[in-house]
Structure 1
Amino acid sequence: MTTKTTKAPLPSARLATARLTTVAALTAAVLTAVPLSGATAGEKRHDGAWRGAWATSPQAATAPFGPNWSQQGFANHTVRQVVRVTTGGTKARIELSNRYGTTPLRITGATVARTDKGASVKAGSVRQLSFGADRSVTIPAGGTAHSDGVPFPVRALESVTVTLYLAAPTGPATFHHFASATSYRADGDHRSDRDGTAFEETSGSWYYLTGVEVGGGAPARRDGIVTFGDSITDGVGSGPGVNNRYPDELAERFAAAGKPRSVLNHGIGGNQVTNDTVWAGEKGIARFKEDVLTEPNVRTVILLEGINDFGGSLPRGVVAPTPEVSVERLIAGHRTLIRQAHARGIKVVGATLTPVKGSFYDTPAVEAKRDAFNHWVRTSGAYDAVADFDRAVADPSDPDRMLPAYDSGDHLHPGDAGYRAMADALDLDAL
């Protein structure tokens, strides 16, 4: 495939609500569950009774855009983090990651509670968490831990607050950079506090917390969805604390239809499919196994990633450029992700790359690659279905540019309305 191609004509009717187009019939192999004997050790930790309610992808400590708490870590601190779950149940547990730690991580104690306002939680809702019947847990370097399940009725789209007390020095922290949410920190042990007055420091990142899982209520079914990608999946450009990322909007559509689903966000701002980066996580073809294939009861993954592969080689002065990536190399990366998913019986929805005209990625070379890759996504038949996010948010009068009403202002990331249009472009029945 060359880097120049003729653009497919845009449909004349309602570009912003372009629907998900399914590819010819799915193979039986894709729709058949994989037996447990084929699962990895990471996947075997799930007993089938749990489903993901919220998730994020961990990253190594970094601070390319200003200070956060990851590089120094914590010592005699309590960290309180608020997340919104996409599906409900009658019990809950959390997942904590020390994937990028170089020493064992000691969690002195943890709680889960119903969110009130800011760092406050609702009276009577605090539940102490245990780990193998102990209140504390030590997570080895590179490791992950789940708490024991605790009775904790929660509804779809309800916010919950997870609080960690870290008594001993942690060293650099495994974290998630762009949370589009506020985390809180206090000196000393405040894991059981109802009010938030002790939490005087704030951060726009998540620390150690990588999942909330629920059980009970509706029977556990293999119908979960993982959204995998870069900053446009991560929600950069959406308002802070309002849960308007496109995966959030998708979860709201399912809930409004009376069919709440597990919708898990595994986007990392700046991430690439083919290149590791010093600030935006491991390359997608490496992290996919740990971030996606270890999630419980997942049926579908939506792949939206590649614009950073094409634009990351441009010298922009914020972060170090990465090696140039051809269209052929990005396609090979996506085929690798598809193979990994299909080997686990997971259906793959491929998404076209959204417009970049007017952004810091706007060059003739990047645009030619974007066009060529999108043509391949639409026509190759490599995926089980295609989500045409490009056409969903493009300006009908200038298809290389995002519609101004959908633009966050940097001409690369959608704003809240743009993320809503992306979610509306997905056919719930096809998913």
Structure 2
Amino acid sequence: MMAGKRSLFWVGALSVAAMSASAEPAHWAASWAAPPAPPSLAVPNLPTSFITPSFRNQTIVQVVRLSRGGRALRLRLTNEYGTEPLRIGAARIALVDEAGRVIEQTRRRVTFAGAREARVPAGVPWVSDPVALSVPDRARVQIALYLPDDTGPCTCHATAGATGLASPPGDYTDKPFAPAGTFSARAFVSEVDVVTSAAPHVVVAFGDSITDGYQSSADADRRWPDQLVRRLATRGRAAISMANAGLSGNRILLDGVPALFGQSAVARFDRDVLAVPGVGTVIVLLGINDIGQKRATPVTAAEIIAGYRQLIDRAHAKGLRIVGGTMLPYEGAPYYRVEGDKVRVAVNDWIRSARAFDAVIDFDRAMRDPSRPARLRPELQSGDWLHPNDAGYKVMADAVDAAVLR
């Protein structure tokens, strides 16, 4: 057994060495992301799909859409909100075609310091070894994790906009299975990075449920950051690396209630933006939940602006370009208030005029009803008058001038 482990370690070490010795330079760039948040159990008025899943002696399979390709990739797993170590019994990745079929010749084992298993301590992320695989731009990648022990409520991204599959008991990382269940969270995977030859310039979309793509079509990659990547690719531009750091329910100033809405933006900014490999630009679209969600004293425009300034100063200290997105109209949403909308308008006016951000994307102007500017255009909203539909997310993507991304 020990000899086998040593052999596997040397295989992993040699693959890393081979990459390092390549004639082309190697740069890591984030190509996909889903920020984790604390688990949440059943609470009143919370959709059952938001309840955090757990797994035991099961393989879970998730498919992610990368933005930029490369000649190798690695996984960033997460047990950051776990209270016990997380054991990964096996892990594999494979490319998936547009019909959802695994391309068998691309199936690869994922290792951790050369070992097939990993024990992820409570409270931390865990990065895999590089996996040598030629990955095209906008590739779909299947990630299969075998979880032999009881995981407890997972460290998850609650609103994946995608369907995960859970197996019957056993390790199915290298073969198909009839699902024993499905789930709608991103479980234990928070980032996929790729190796590129050119120095990367990763764009992080940092926001709430509107950036997270809530109410967009499931399993279709119709969030506005996805549609922006697609738009630029179809126009013959070089692919951009996009990491979606949207987190449904997120606020700038306060942690989420319930917990799955995540730590405040000012608290998670270092992890979800500054620590992202290759980050060069961040687009901020936040504040509507600070205005709308209940708190003892309603938030003021000055408080939201102070939160923005924190993000701006910290981004600039790291040499990043930071772009401000104006908040969308929300009249008709369950938490709409006239006084709250006055705050939104005041903050948007500041975003446009203060020149504190390096550039501005006027999502508000692109999405509002010209005859009733406090609300979204009816044909672009999903039914709750807060979140766009697929067509609305496309309008948001089209509102982004590619020049602001560099």
Superposition TM-score, scaled by structure 1 size? 0.83
| SS across alignment from 1:103 | coil
Partner of 1:152: 133
Q: 1:134 aligns with which of 115, 130, 138?
A: 115
Which structure 1 residue ranges, 5 or more long, are not aligned? 1-46, 314-320
Which structure 2 residue ranges, 5 or more long, are not aligned? 1-24
Contact kept in structure 2, 1:69 and 1:203, CA below 8 Å: no
| SS across alignment from 2:106 | coil
Partner of 1:249: 227
Partner of 1:24: none
Contact kept in structure 1, 2:28 and 2:200, CA below 8 Å: no
CA distance in 2, matches of 1:322, 1:74: 38
Displacement of 1:48 in angstroms is: 6.6
| SS across alignment from 1:102 | coil
Task: Output aligned runs, 1:280-429, within 5 Å.
Answer: 280-313=261-294, 324-429=298-403
Partner of 2:251: 272
1:206 aligns with 2:183: no
Q: Which amino acid aligns with 1:140?
A: P
| SS across alignment from 1:131 | coil
> What percentage of residue pairs aligned between the two structures are identical?
39
| SS across alignment from 2:32 | strand
| SS across alignment from 1:292 | helix
Q: Which amino acid aligns with 1:248?
A: D
1:174–1:310: structure 2 CA closer, same or farther, 3 Å change rule? same
1:191–1:52: structure 2 CA closer, same or farther, 3 Å change rule? farther
The count of residues paired between Structure 1 and Structure 2 equals 375
Contact kept in structure 1, 2:146 and 2:173, CA below 8 Å: no
Partner of 2:32: 54
CA distance in 2, matches of 1:260, 1:142: 34
Greater RCO, CA 8 A, separation 6+: 1
Displacement of 1:323 in angstroms is: 5.6
Contact kept in structure 2, 1:51 and 1:220, CA below 8 Å: no
Question: Relative to structure 2, which stretch is displaced further, 184-193 or 203-212?
Answer: 184-193
CA distance in 2, matches of 1:188, 1:69: 24
1:51–1:192: structure 2 CA closer, same or farther, 3 Å change rule? same
Displacement of 1:285 in angstroms is: 0.2
Partner of 1:17: none
Question: Relative to structure 2, which stretch is displaced further, 357-366 or 67-76?
Answer: 67-76
CA distance in 2, matches of 1:182, 1:90: 27
| SS across alignment from 2:94 | strand
Residues 283-336 of structure 1, C-alpha deviation per residue, up to 9 Å, x if partnerless?
A: 0000011111111111100000000000011xxxxxxx5763221111111111
| SS across alignment from 1:359 | coil
CA distance in 2, matches of 1:323, 1:290: 29
Q: Which amino acid aligns with 1:89?
A: G
CA distance in 2, matches of 1:103, 1:117: 37
CA distance in 1, matches of 2:167, 2:329: 42
Displacement of 1:342 in angstroms is: 0.9
CA distance in 1, matches of 2:215, 2:49: 19
Contact kept in structure 2, 1:119 and 1:184, CA below 8 Å: no
Displacement of 1:212 in angstroms is: 0.9
CA distance in 2, matches of 1:253, 1:120: 24
Contact kept in structure 2, 1:119 and 1:199, CA below 8 Å: no
CA distance in 2, matches of 1:235, 1:243: 9
CA distance in 1, matches of 2:50, 2:216: 22
Contact kept in structure 2, 1:275 and 1:322, CA below 8 Å: no
Partner of 1:73: 54
Determine which structure has the larger helix proportion and give its number.
2
Displacement of 1:369 in angstroms is: 0.7
Contact kept in structure 2, 1:233 and 1:267, CA below 8 Å: yes
| SS across alignment from 1:153 | strand
Contact kept in structure 1, 2:52 and 2:156, CA below 8 Å: no
Displacement of 1:138 in angstroms is: 1.2
Q: Which amino acid aligns with 1:154?
A: V
